């Protein structure tokens, strides 16, 4: 499909008001998206596990603006944001940018006033990327409004366009619509698109069923460098081309590994991707480091644990200091004990979140 296929063409503009509510999960990339072109097109393919517990719940209420047709065209977007029941101004610029990017595909945006009420299941400012769950939840709400206004979509088209819109809010958000593994970015190994995420079409060995992700909250503070800035630093980066090629290679290798159930290979690919992501940050200009001393303490403890036990526990990182500890379901008890005994002390206030692979977003109310 091409971008033009996502333009809403006919809709019933006489609908006065309504509300919809979605919950959408976060996701954790195994092959990392780092570097993008114009219009949120990724420089390389990525694949992620969709999560279950870490999610955003968003209610979108829309009310027709009382404007003459002439005024509507020039009127600005009108929306209020409530985060955890309190009016929030800080989120508005991101949503304004999102609306600007998607307006061509969602032409009724200036016709309505929107009340966006949102909350997360994970603690506020836990340093967990909330843009993936937040932007995907909002995109899904807008898709439900399209349906309210008379659009007749197959669930396949609905999900594709939701992912397409979510991508324009935040790249990684396009991987949060469905589960359990989602690929985004054109590549030779899987069915794929640069415009939206697609459920991984390869075989997945039972070893990966209910895969666990315990998120260790090493640093809950605001990051010094945002992902958006980080992506930009891949322009003219001395290792960029090699990195993009490596992501393609790693995706091909991961596909084989997911089919065979070879957990040792899985560990190698996933940890190498995490460290490569941070190596790109450390070798960009300006360079920066998002890991904290405790991030490294945890990584070393995981390596020691793996060397001393028969275990396939491994780590991955997103663009921050927190550590995602990934492990098969049959190691749940032993790894949780290890985390409690040896890793929790490196977390802020001993805080971590237990999560596992999930099936994607859900409509809560219409």
For binding to ligand DP6 (CB under 6 A), which residues are involved? 29, 32-34, 40, 46, 129, 131, 170-172, 227-228, 231, 277, 318-319
Q: How far is the CB of 319 from ligand DP6 (least distance, A)?
A: 4
Q: Which is nearer to ligand DP6, 171 or 328 (CB)?
A: 171
Distance CA 42, CA 283 (A): 20
Is residue 189 within 8 A of residue 252, CB to CB? The reply is yes
Q: How far is the CB of 253 from ligand DP6 (least distance, A)?
A: 17
Q: How far is the CB of 229 from ligand DP6 (least distance, A)?
A: 9
Q: Which is nearer to ligand DP6, 151 or 277 (CB)?
A: 277
Q: Which is nearer to ligand DP6, 42 or 328 (CB)?
A: 42
Q: How far is the CB of 232 from ligand DP6 (least distance, A)?
A: 9
Q: How far is the CB of 320 from ligand DP6 (least distance, A)?
A: 8
Q: How far is the CB of 113 from ligand DP6 (least distance, A)?
A: 26
| Residue 236: both structure tokens together | 């003219």
β-pair partners for 17: 63
Residue 338 phi/psi, 5° resolution?
-60, -45
Closest CA to 241 of 33, 38, 42, 44: 44
Q: Which is nearer to ligand DP6, 21 or 45 (CB)?
A: 45
Q: Which is nearer to ligand DP6, 141 or 247 (CB)?
A: 247
Q: Which is nearer to ligand DP6, 246 or 334 (CB)?
A: 246
Q: Which is nearer to ligand DP6, 20 or 81 (CB)?
A: 81
Q: How far is the CB of 135 from ligand DP6 (least distance, A)?
A: 8
Q: Which residue is nearest to ligand DP6 (CB)?
A: 171
Q: How far is the CB of 231 from ligand DP6 (least distance, A)?
A: 5
Q: Which is nearer to ligand DP6, 28 or 106 (CB)?
A: 28
């Amino acid at each position: 499909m091409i971008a033009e296929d996502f333009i809403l063409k006919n809709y019933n503009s006489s609908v006065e008001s309504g509300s919809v509510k979605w919950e959408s999960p976060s996701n954790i990339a195994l092959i990392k998206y780092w570097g993008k072109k114009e219009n949120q097109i990724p420089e390389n393919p990525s694949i992620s596990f969709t999560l279950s517990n870490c999610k955003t719940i968003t209610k979108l209420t829309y009310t027709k603006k009382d404007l003459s047709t002439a005024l509507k065209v020039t009127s600005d977007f009108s929306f209020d944001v409530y985060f955890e029941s309190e009016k929030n101004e800080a989120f508005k610029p991101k949503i304004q940018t999102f609306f600007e990017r998607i307006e061509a595909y969602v032409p009724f945006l200036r016709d309505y006033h929107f009340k966006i009420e949102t909350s997360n299941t994970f603690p506020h400012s836990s340093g967990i990327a909330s843009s993936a769950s937040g932007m995907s939840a909002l995109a899904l709400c807008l898709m439900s409004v399209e349906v309210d206004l008379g659009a007749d979509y197959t669930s396949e088209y609905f999900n594709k366009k939701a992912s397409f819109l979510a991508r324009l809010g935040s790249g990684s958000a396009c991987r949060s619509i469905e589960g359990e593994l989602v690929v985004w970015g054109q590549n030779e190994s899987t069915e794929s698109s640069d415009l939206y995420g697609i459920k991984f079409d390869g075989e997945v060995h039972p070893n990966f069923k209910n895969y666990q992700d315990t998120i260790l909250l090493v640093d809950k503070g605001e990051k010094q460098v945002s992902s958006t800035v980080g992506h930009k630093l891949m322009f003219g980066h001395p290792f960029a081309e090699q990195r993009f090629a490596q992501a393609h290679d790693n995706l091909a290798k991961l596909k084989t590994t997911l089919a065979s159930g070879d957990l040792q290979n899985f560990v190698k690919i996933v940890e190498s991707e995490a460290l490569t992501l941070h190596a790109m940050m450390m070798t960009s200009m300006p360079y920066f480091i998002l890991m904290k001393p405790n991030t490294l303490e945890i990584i070393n403890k995981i390596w020691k644990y793996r060397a001393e036990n028969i275990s396939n526990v491994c780590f991955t990182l997103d663009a921050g200091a927190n550590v995602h500890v990934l492990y098969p379901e049959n190691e749940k008890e032993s790894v949780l004990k290890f985390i409690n005994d040896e890793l929790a002390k490196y977390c802020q206030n001993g805080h971590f979140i237990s999560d596992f692979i999930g099936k994607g977003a859900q409509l809560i109310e219409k």
